[in-house]
Structure 1
Amino acid sequence: MAIILAADIGGTNSRFALFDTAGGALVMERSLWLKTHEAASFADLLDQVRASGFPLSGVIDAAVLAVAGAVHGGVQCRLPNAPWGVDLREVDLGTPTACLINDFAAQAYACRTTAVAEAQVIQAGEPEPGAVVGVIGAGTGLGHSALIPDGDRWVALSSEAGHMSFPFTGPEEAVYEEFNRTASGRNWAEGDTVVTGLGLRLVHQHLTGENLSPDVISARITVESPTTQWFARFYGRACRNWAMALMARGGLFIAGGVAARNPMLVTAPEFLDEFHNSHVHGEYLRSVPIRLNANQESGLYGAAFHGAQLLHGGKE
């Protein structure tokens, strides 16, 4: 039996939970959600956690914090979508077994837990046991990861692929590419500005002239809306490219708040049409199982899974 502190610190929300591993399974005992931008620093965020009555010391055997950014040395991360960073050397979590992992590495680990038990099937496919599993998801940013088998344990790949330039095709998309680059103020149009909440706002603005929040857009659009069709096509392209980069024969999980709140953005026909669009690997792409994981606490389960591996020598 062990108690694991798990956290999922993103650009919008910071989630905390305690898990009990009694009986060989991960059981969430309690959880807490806070707004990331309402904290002045990581230390201030922890003070808010303590002030809520959530225990941060005394009973914790391991602590794993998933963070939305590149992790350095397992202890430090600058959050690109928050005004502060995280450094475990500056705080006391009550246990020497503590580390940071990328938030989408946590989403990958979550694929080995009950967090994905109710994931929606987008494409049934033909999963290959023990093969690489890909994870991708649009939220504040476009997260990427992969789950790789390594003997009796699983290793999650950390990635910042959302900051790579995004591929566009044809003259219409070329016009949008320049609009996206200019409107976002980035050096180039990237996954983080195309297949995210920001990307939904920008493509809708480009197509309609309306500058609306993603929540308002999601409430207005239908499966026939050009905004839906363009965004679903871009999401399918991002998923296709990641599935081909990994040869994810174990399947592909879609996470992140954008599709969780509006599944139509990955169930619209344009999504699979674009996912299958390959003159070389069409047969493989049709064989990849695709699931939409809408569980907003799956990052916590993934962080806890990694904590259990740390405590038990690689065994779940």
Structure 2
Amino acid sequence: MLFLAGDIGGTNGHVALVRVADDLVGDIETLAYRVFPCAAFPSLADLLKTFIDAEVRAPVSHCVLACAGQVMGDEVAHDNLPWPVQVDALRAALGLADVTVLNDFEALAYAIEGPLAASGRHLCGPPTRGHGPSLVVGPGTGLGAAVYVPNAAGGTVLTTEAGQMDFAPHSLRDRDVLAYLAPGGGYVPVEQIVSGPGLLTAYEALCALDGEVATLSTPKAVTAAAASQSDKHAVEAVALFCAALGSFTGNLAMSYMPTGGIFLAGGFLSSIFDLLKHSAFEERFLHGRSVRAMLAEVPVWVTEHGCHGVQGAARWYMRHRAAIRASTSEGAAA
């Protein structure tokens, strides 16, 4: 069985042509894989058509897409994709029999029992995984998270919109940044700080609070300046980001106790691994008092996002198709 699998984020679209055994339980074979900048295309259909024209030689009628956002009926409700995503319109534009959509971090969670878990760099906690739930967290264009719960059926994934939780300041400087972002009070989502664009927001806020003009204009420039220690506000912004990520991840860990491990996903974090390793992430992750001992038993890794979202989407689709086939067979037997 050939089908398209994609992982569509706010910055890049990862697309693959994959093949699995006819029984839908074989390993996934990637026949072609490309990464496209989303901003270069007027629509998701155009991005996918570019891949199809370049890489697909045999007829393909099925497609699964992991998208940043939540599936609401025929549409994906999102804040970070550059275009609307409507499933029926996409199916018609591509001439496919089936287009199925799921949340991007739901797909990443389905990849945990595949190559994702073996690809990370250890950040803190025990060096090996336990047998409980696992958590995948990723600051990129936005901030996503999902929980993988192992079971006899192959695992269950719980999706979240955790990035939309309120930002909770910890230090006095955090409070100053929050007051700068919402001078009249009100809602500030945690992804407004803990994301790539959020890092730039934190840098600009810190400059403004000290009465200085921000000279850096991209998250990449901020991380580079922090690594070289050439801009004190960049250094402080990365420190604030890492600490806030630790608090956020620790809060989620207290909700799910993921002794199976936490996987911080994304090339963004991999590029600042050394800064993250020497930051206040672990201290803020552990929180305090009695919960500290429990959180100390949770291992944390940083892993490249890469093709894992595509692999997870394909794994989910195999299960989805197998469930439909089993339901159809039971209905026919009845």
Instruction: Establish whether TM, by shorter chain, passes 0.5.
Output: yes
The TM-score range, normalised by the shorter chain, is 0.7 to 0.9
The offset of 1:31, in angstroms, is 0.9
The offset of 1:202, in angstroms, is 2.1
Asked whether the 8 Å contact 2:7–2:309 carries over to 1, the reply is yes
How many residues of Structure 1 are paired with residues of Structure 2 in the alignment? 307
Aligned position for 1:290 = 300
Q: Which of 217, 224, 232 is residue 222 of structure 2 equivalent to?
A: 217
What are the Cα deviations for residues 43-93 of structure 1, in whole angstroms up to 9, with x where unaligned? 333333334x23297245x532000011123x4213322342212212336
Unaligned 5+ segments in structure 1 are none
Which runs of 4 or more aligned residues in structure 1 lie more than 4 Å from their structure 2 counterparts after TM superposition?
Answer: 93-97
Q: How does 1:132-281 map to 2 (within 5 A)?
A: 132-181=133-182, 188-208=187-207, 209=212, 210-212=214-216, 213-222=218-227, 225-281=235-291
Matches of 2:267 and 2:76 in 1, distance apart?
22
Matches of 2:113 and 2:296 in 1, distance apart?
23
Asked whether the 8 Å contact 1:228–1:268 carries over to 2, the reply is no
Asked whether the 8 Å contact 2:134–2:147 carries over to 1, the reply is yes
What are the Cα deviations for residues 129-157 of structure 1, in whole angstroms up to 9, with x where unaligned? 2x211111100001111112343222222
Asked whether the 8 Å contact 1:197–1:258 carries over to 2, the reply is yes
Pair 1:301-2:311 in alignment: yes
Q: Counterpart of 2:87 in structure 1: which amino acid?
A: L
The offset of 1:124, in angstroms, is 4.3
Asked whether the 8 Å contact 1:223–1:264 carries over to 2, the reply is no
TM-score by length of 2: 0.83
Aligned position for 1:66 = 66
The offset of 1:116, in angstroms, is 3.6
The offset of 1:186, in angstroms, is 10
The DSSP-based 3-state class of the residue aligned with 2:55 is coil
Aligned position for 1:32 = 34
Asked whether the 8 Å contact 1:120–1:293 carries over to 2, the reply is yes
| Change in 2 beyond 3 A, CA 1:221/1:8 | same
Asked whether the 8 Å contact 1:115–1:301 carries over to 2, the reply is no
| Change in 2 beyond 3 A, CA 1:188/1:258 | farther
Matches of 1:102 and 1:77 in 2, distance apart?
9
Aligned position for 1:104 = 105
TM-score by length of 1: 0.87
Asked whether the 8 Å contact 1:65–1:303 carries over to 2, the reply is yes
The offset of 1:302, in angstroms, is 0.8
Aligned position for 1:16 = 15
What are the Cα deviations for residues 255-289 of structure 1, in whole angstroms up to 9, with x where unaligned? 12320222134312411111112223101111001
